[in-house]
Amino acid sequence: MSYTNADSDQSWAARALCATDTPDALFVQGAEQRQVRARCMSCEVRLECLADALQSEVKFGVWGGLTERERRAMLRHYTDVTNWWKWLTTSEDPLALEIREPRVPHVLSKVRG
């Protein structure tokens, strides 16, 4: 899979709100996931983070504001996407448009329909 992003060297990660958190901070369950997700929504590199997690098929944790369950559902639903950065930033798909908004998207309801 190709990942074409001007910041594909992952230098964006240093600008993430969670950059100084302990590594375990993103690997939480239940109500704690809501707190992490809410923080992600105000992060300036949220889309880079999410694109990287989708492109790499990261299995665990909250990345770019989405849980592992949401990312797995997206990967199953959008099997034709080869460049997640491009899809997240340019697609007119209703879910892509919703993800670009600074609020928690309703991923599961969009991909199960």
pLDDT tens, position by position, 71-86: 999 999 999 999 999 9
| DSSP element (H, E) containing 37 | helix 31-40
The reply, when asked if residue 40 is annotated as ligand binding, is yes
Is 97 annotated among the ligand-binding residues?
no
Condensed to tens digits (0 to 9), the pLDDT of residues 17-76 reads 888 888 787 788 888 888 888 889 999 999 999 999 999 999 999 999 999 999 999 999
One DSSP character per residue, 49-102 reads: HHHHHHHHT--SS-BTTB-HHHHHHHHHH-TT-S-HHHHHHH---HHHHHHHSS
Q: Taking the model in full, what pTM does it have?
A: 0.86
